[in-house]
Amino acid sequence: MERERNKMNIKEMIDEFLVCPKCKGKLEMSEINKATAEGNTYKSSILICRNCGVYYPIEDDIPVLLIDEAKTTDGIE
């Protein structure tokens, strides 16, 4: 069965279009716990590049694929 383009979900879009800006490798979507200034924690989506061992934040549903914003995945599953 042929799939319609407009039925593509965010995960499929990431798989298809988003690559690591460093190595052009595949990115994997995941979540991390972040702390607010008030001390509460919340889930924040990230994109992991296993190849580089870094992750990129997703802010307001927009992936921030900037090498300067990449953070090491130490301590992240």
Q: Using CB under 5 A as the criterion, which residues of the chain lie in contact with Zn ion when the complex forms? A: 20, 22-23, 25, 49, 51-52
Sign (positive/negative) of CA torsion 65, 54, 8, 34?
negative
Of the pair 20, 46, the CB lying nearest Zn ion is at: 20
Give the span between the Cα atoms of 1 and 62, in whole angstroms: 31
Give the span between the Cα atoms of 73 and 54, in whole angstroms: 5
DSSP string, 63-77: E---GGG-EE-TT--
Of the pair 28, 45, the CB lying nearest Zn ion is at: 28
Closest-approach residue to Zn ion (CB): 20
Shortest approach of Zn ion to residue 24 CB, angstroms?
A: 7
Of the pair 32, 47, the CB lying nearest Zn ion is at: 47
Shortest approach of Zn ion to residue 11 CB, angstroms?
A: 18
